[in-house]
Each structure stands twice: as structure tokens, then as C-alpha cells.
Amino acid sequence: MSDARVKKSQGLDVLTIAMPKGRILREAVDLFKAAGVDFSALLHDDRRLIFENPEEGLRFMVIRSQDVPTYVEYGAADLGVAGKDVLVEQARDLYEPLDLGIGVCRMMVAEPKELKKDDNPGRWTCIRVATKYPNITQRHFLEKGIQVEIIKLYGSIELAPLLGLSERIIDLVQTGETLRKNGLVEVEDVMNITSRLVCNRASLKTKPKRVKDLVDRLSRAVAGRAK
């Protein structure tokens, strides 16, 4: 680190950024690198959960993706990266200043192929659905006047119809491969999902310049990727 950079970092407030464990982390590392912030050290060591970048006055931590909005809402982290699925499900009080365009997938309703043959979603009145997203599921169907019994699961949602736990599921699809392998087909779209940069309200108000600077750099990186 050059002297000038040391000086620049002195007295700089740390911005803490919560990153989701797993698939998105890799994409996020690349995106932040394009924005001039390298925290790839977190990728190389599974046990390492915190990475400091004193030059930039940034601290990264890796937590479960569902926990990111909580950390940020309470101010334990100033910023975070979270999927729109998690954000809509938890409906927390956060700013979402940037669509990072990573972690792209769709949330949809699926059911077994045999069931779809003579099924008409317009006639549904009362259905049973397995999902990781009970709030989204409830809202999606209640808005259409459909009563829904929700089976809340934590993973392997595609198994539920095979084992008779529920007729239908609401889950994320990327390529559709998992659905196909399990004999399921899409019947309805729920929403498109990408990962967002989220920000604590107080952090944005008390450190507006730093937040804006990071948002600007990341948004240039996002625009650059899109080209």
C-alpha cells in the first residue's frame, strides 16, 4: 500500500457488507472486482467468514443468504447482496439501490406433467403448495382468490409432488433441468429474480457519500457487464 493510500484510508469509516454464501458469492466477487474492490480471498478459504479491505475502508462478511436482509435492516451490516426472492419474502425495511444483474432466475408454480394435461389454473379454488417462500405463495394465490394450504420446506422442493406431500410447488428455476428430471412442468410465472444491492437506511443517511460512491462504481460495473 502506498503512503498516499494509507493516508486516504485514515479516519475512513468502515462500511460492512454482508455477502450471501454459495453460488451468488462467486458472481458477486467478479462484479465487485470490476468495480475495483477485490475480496476474492473469501472464495479461497471456506472457513474464512470476514475479509477486511482497509484501503477502501470495507469489510466483507459471508452469511446465509436468508440472513442478509436481517443483518442489514438492523445495521449490523451497512450494505448487503440479497436475492429479490428473499427480499420480497421477508419484506424488510431496506433500500435497494441497485439491481446487480447476477443470480438471475425465475420463481414459478410447477406441477407434475400428468397433472398439467387436464389442469386449468383459472379453475383453482383451493390448492396445496410446497415452498420455501410461504409469504410470497400466500400473496400470489390470495390475490387471485385461491385458498392455499402451504407446506413450508427448507430444500428439495421438487420432491414434494413426487411423494404426494403437495400437488404443486413454488420454487426458483434457472435452466429448468431439475424440474424436468423430476417430471415437473411450469404452470405459472410468479416473478423474475436477480440479486440486489441492499442498504441500511441509517447507513445511507449518515454516510451518503460513501454509499453513493460504491453504488456508482457497482452500477458502472453492472453496465459494463451487460455490454
Partner 1 sequence: MKNPPAISLPQGVRDILPEDALGIGVVETKILAIFSRYGFKRVITPLLEYVDVLSLGMGDNLKDRVLKFIDPSTGRVVAIRPDITPQIARIAATRMRDYPLPLKLCYNASVLRYHDNRDGRRSEVLQVGAEYIAKESSPEADAEMIIIAAEALRELGLKDFKIDIGDVGFLRAVFDGLNLSEPEKKLIKEAIGIKDSSGLDQIINSLGGKIAKADRELLLNLTTFYGEDEVIKKASAFVGKSGASAASRSLENLKCVFSIVADKGFKDFVTIDLGEVRGFDYYTGIIFEGFARGVGKSILSGGRYDNLLGKYGFDMAATGFAFDVENIITALGEKPRRV
Residues in the chain: 227
Q: Considering the rule CB under 8 A, would residue 181 count as an interface residue with partner 1?
A: no
Q: Considering the rule CB under 8 A, would residue 36 count as an interface residue with partner 1?
A: no
Cβ 214 to partner 1, closest distance in Å?
13
Which CB sits closer to partner 1, 168 or 196? 196
Phi-psi region of 116 (alpha: psi -120 to 50; beta: other; left: phi over 0): alpha
Which CB sits closer to partner 1, 180 or 208? 208
Cα 100 to Cα 38, 104, 124: the distances in Å are 16, 9, 36
- Identify which range of 39-47, 73-81, 118-126, 137-145 contacts partner 1 by CB under 8 A: 73-81
Q: Considering the rule CB under 8 A, would residue 95 count as an interface residue with partner 1?
A: yes
Q: Considering the rule CB under 8 A, would residue 220 count as an interface residue with partner 1?
A: no
Site track 104-143 with partner 1 (rule: CB under 8 A), x = hit:
----------------------------------------
- Identify whether the C-beta of residue 198 lies closer than 8 Å to the C-beta of residue 69: yes
Q: CA 214 to CA 220: how far, in whole Å?
A: 10
Cα-Cα-Cα-Cα torsion 159, 164, 167, 170, nearest 10 degrees, comes to -30
Q: Which of 22, 36, 75, 224 binds partner 1 (CB under 8 A)?
A: 75
Cβ 127 to partner 1, closest distance in Å?
25
Q: Nearest to residue 83, comparing CAs of 38, 18, 36, 33?
A: 18
- Identify whether the C-beta of residue 164 lies closer than 8 Å to the C-beta of residue 62: no
Phi-psi region of 18 (alpha: psi -120 to 50; beta: other; left: phi over 0): beta
Site track 5-34 with partner 1 (rule: CB under 8 A), x = hit:
----xxxxxx--------------------
Q: CA 108 to CA 137: how far, in whole Å?
A: 10
- Identify which range of 4-12, 40-48, 118-126, 136-144 contacts partner 1 by CB under 8 A: 4-12
Residues at the contact surface with partner 1, assessed by CB under 8 A: 9-14, 54, 57, 73-76, 94-99, 196, 199-206, 208-209, 212, 219
